[in-house]
Amino acid sequence: MNEKIEEVTALIQKQCLWQFFSRSWDREENIEGIMTMTGKILNGDKINLVTPADKAFYSDAKFLAAEIQKKMPWLFELDKSGVLELIEGVKERLLYIAVKKSRNCELNLSNY
Amino acid sequence: MPLKLFCCDECIPERQNHVYIKEEGEDTTQYLPLSNIETIPGSLSERGCSYCGAKLVIGGVIKDCIQMIHGPVGCAYDTWHTKRYPSDNDNFQLKYVWSSDTKEKHIVFGAEKQLKKAIKEAFKEFPKIKRMFVYTTCTTALIGDDPKAVCREVEEELGDVDIFVVECPGFAGVSQSKGHHELNIGWMRDKIGTLEPEIKSEYTINVIGDYNIQGDTYVLQRYFDKMGIQVIAHFTGNVTYDQLRCMHRAKLNVVNCARSAGYIANELKRVYDIPRMDVDTWGFDYIKVALRKIGAFFGLEDKAEEVIADEVAKYEGKLNWYKERLKGKKVCIWTGGPRLWHWTKALEDDLGMEVVAMSSKFGHQEDFEKVIARGRVGTIYIDDGNELEFFEVLDNIHADIIFTGPRVGDLVKKLHIPYINGHAYHNGPYMGFEGAVNMARDMYNGIYSPMWSLAGKDPRVVQEL
């Protein structure tokens, strides 16, 4: 699973701008929202888009899920719990790279 | 050692923290160049001033305003006419520039009266124009003029004008980035939400961070028109002052620029609950992703696919022609900030090129996180590069073409390396599908120009032969 997590993380690092928003709070919000939505899409779960933020997460997640399906054939061997494990692992890696260990000095400034 | 000290920087060793060469297996938790800090004495920076960032980059694009620069006349000239952002009202913003033309006596006795006179005179000379930007400059900031008070007086006296003041003198920050920041945050604070737009579609967006360089905005606008999406405001390409006051009524903010463009989107999210979606509008494949994401947000996936199919049919063949000829060519991107991360992978994926060195004038660490995440192993990443460093890079790597500004561009031309204007383009637009082809064509024309084989020859010797 670790290799799979690294593979998806590498894809997101190359493709997705949402991991590098302006501050820790919006990076955390995106990582949680978009990755959770990606998991739902990959697992074929019912998706209920209520808020504008849900719709935005869905838009990014839809693209990401399609990329994972296209580029990572091993995905289809995972059952639902495997997909969730993958998603949680990727969230953790992204939080590590883009938030917890980020060297960006502006991430925790309170003002713009 | 991934952080690199150039030989030319031996006497300014602090520069080592601004240069990084990516190695296999590394990510931005290990190395991230310092950026947005003061230029180190001894390094001849090519950065612009903070006032320039506000006027030349953001405010000066707006098409229906008097742009009044409160300071010596040179500050006006130096931020006028040098960036190609047209408009559909006969390029009003490119034709004119206004200055309060302060002189020594104004610096000694105060320049507010001079500013007021200049503002009223400008409105009188352009009676149809009712909107104005006023910018402070180093001199008028240092003497403590209060342009906001002056502008409120004028607004009261004239009754039908609206003036936005940007107090961001050249020395306010370490680079032009501070000017982007002050204008953007000020506009969010003072102007957004002060006017209601006419809503013509249930699908409404703002495009933040597209400055209509050689018509970029027109390209994007066509796509959104075809999808039935109303753009409330392009911040700030081909836009009016009043359209920008209506940004609070969009349902989605599409962000193509960095940092303070994102800050506007974040504030619109906080105050008005409008989501922020960051996209790449340069790059043949990237624009497909951008349109699909926007389509998915509104449930307009079919419309997005229609636009993509039409554009791909028109431009993919042309792009492939250039790809055959540009594959494997080596590129440097020495521009401002966001274009590094927008372009690096787009050039590699769309055209098979290799980006070997990137330098950012005013990018922040956010920009470097993005560009290093997207960029290649072995590529050199530089913050606030100076000319000697550029020469040293070119001594150590081979580059077939360089995206940079006209000043550095003229330097590299002397080494017989072609350059493309990475700020204002050679023959744009560069955004969207057609833009990707235009960019490829300009690179092809640069690299394959027969001029380079003649440039190194001494014409007297040729004549003798």
The residue behind tokens 């800090």 is B37
* B342 at A interface, C-beta within 8 A: no
Give chain B positions within 8 Å (CB) of A112.
181, 185, 260, 263, 266-267
Does B348 contact chain A (CB < 8 Å)?
no
- CATH topology identical between B50-173 and B204-304: yes
Return the ∠ at Cα A38 (arms to B28 and A30), rounded to 5°.
Answer: 50
What residues of A are in contact with residue B35 (Cβ under 8 Å)? none
Question: Which chain B residues are closer than 8 Å to A106 by Cβ?
Answer: 364-366
Q: Which fold has domain B50-173?
A: Rossmann fold (3.40.50)
What is the rounded average pLDDT of the residues A63-69?
Answer: 98
CB-CB contact of B239 with B61 (8 Å)? yes
What H or E segment, with its residue span, contains residue A85? Answer: helix A80-95
How far off is chain A from B241, nearest CA to CA, in Å? 23
Dihedral sign from CA coordinates of A46, A50, A51, A52: positive
CA distance A74 to chain B (A): 23
DSSP β-bridge partners for residue B254? B207, B277
Among candidate residues B310, B315, B339, the one with its CA nearest the CA of residue B434: B315
Closest CA relative to residue B301, chosen from A50, A59, A17: A59
**In this complex, is the C-beta atom of A97 within 8 Å of any C-beta atom belonging to chain B?**
yes
Chain A hits for B204, CB-CB cut-off 8 Å, are none
Chain B nearest-CA distance from A22, in A, is: 6
Cβ contacts (< 8 Å) between A37 and chain B: which residues?
Answer: none
- C-alpha distances (whole Å) from A108 to each of A27, A104, A105, A112, B295 are 11, 9, 7, 10, 33
Q: Which class for B366: exposed (0-12), middle (13-18), buried (19 or more C-beta within 10 A)?
A: buried
Q: Does B293 touch chain A (CB under 8 A)?
A: yes
Read off the tokens for A97.
């790279």
Residues of chain A contacting residue B294, judged by C-beta atoms under 8 Å apart: 59
User: Distance from CA of residue B127 to its chain's centroid?
Assistant: 31
Contact yes or no for A22 and B267 at CB 8 A: no
Write down the ipTM of this complex. 0.97
Give the H/E segment covering residue A90.
helix A80-95
Q: How far is CA A51 from CA A13, A27, A28, A35, B443, in A?
A: 27, 18, 18, 17, 44
The residue of chain B with its CA nearest to that of A17 is: B278
**pLDDT in the model for residue B462:** 66
Tell me phi and psi for residue B114, to 5 degrees.
-65, -40
CA Rg, chain B, in Å? Answer: 23
Chain B residue numbers with beta carbons less than 8 Å from the beta carbon of A55 are 275, 297
Among residues B223, B392, B363, the alpha carbon closest in space to that of B305 is found at B223
- Angstrom CA distances, B379 to B25, B167, B399, B417, B457, stand at 14, 38, 12, 19, 32
Of A22, A59, A104, the CB nearest to B296: A59
- Exposure pattern of B101-116 as b/e (b: 16+ CB <10 Å)? bbeeebbeebbbebbb
Cis peptide before B236 (omega within 30 of 0): yes
Res B150: pLDDT: 98
A104–chain B Cβ distance below 8 A for any pair:
yes
pLDDT (tens, 9 = 90+) of chain B, 465 residues, equals 689 999 999 999 999 999 999 999 999 999 999 999 999 999 989 999 999 999 999 999 999 999 999 999 999 998 887 789 999 999 999 999 999 999 999 999 999 999 999 999 999 999 999 999 999 999 999 999 999 999 999 999 999 999 999 999 999 999 999 999 999 999 999 999 999 999 999 999 999 999 999 999 999 999 999 999 999 999 999 999 999 999 999 999 999 999 889 999 999 999 999 999 999 999 999 999 999 999 999 999 999 999 999 999 999 999 999 999 999 999 999 999 999 999 999 999 999 999 999 999 999 999 999 999 999 999 999 999 999 999 999 999 999 999 999 989 999 999 999 999 999 999 999 999 999 999 999 999 999 999 988 888 888 876 665
Q: Where are the domains of chain B?
A: 50-173, 204-304
pLDDT digits (tens, 9 = 90+) for A14-35: 999 999 999 999 999 999 999 9
Q: Do B364 and A106 touch (CB under 8 A)?
A: yes
Phi-psi bin for B432: left (phi > 0), alpha (psi -120 to 50), beta? left
CB atoms within 10 A of CB A75: 18
- Measured CA to CA, the distance from residue B64 to residue B446 in angstroms comes to 36
Per-residue pLDDT, B464: 60
Say whether residue A78 is in contact with chain B using an 8 A CB cutoff.
Answer: no
Shortest CA distance from B178: residue in chain A: A112
Nearest CA in chain A to B277: A56
The fold of B204-304 is Rossmann fold (3.40.50)
Question: Quick check: B279 contacting A, CB < 8 Å?
Answer: yes
Q: Which of residues 13-42 of B touch A (CB under 8 A)?
A: 27-29, 31-32
Buried b (16+ CB within 10 A) or exposed e, A38-48: bbbbbbeeeee
Minimal CA separation from B60 to chain A, in Å: 23
**What was the pLDDT predicted at B9?**
97
What are the two backbone dihedrals, phi and then psi, of residue B282, each rounded to the nearest 5 degrees? Answer: -95, 150
Q: Do B278 and A18 count as a contact with CB atoms less than 8 A apart?
A: yes
Specify the pLDDT at position B465.
Answer: 55
pLDDT recorded at residue B456:
83
pLDDT at B78: 86
Q: Which residues of A touch B192 (CB under 8 A)?
A: none
A67 lies within 8 A of chain B by CB: no
B415 inside 8 A of chain A by CB: no
For residue B67, give the H/E element and its range: strand B66-70
CA distance B174 to B163: 27
What pLDDT was estimated at residue B397? 96
B-facing residues of A in 3-42 (CB < 8 A) are 13-14, 17-18, 20-23, 26
Interface check A112 vs B, CB under 8 A: yes
Pairing of strands B19-21, B380-383: antiparallel
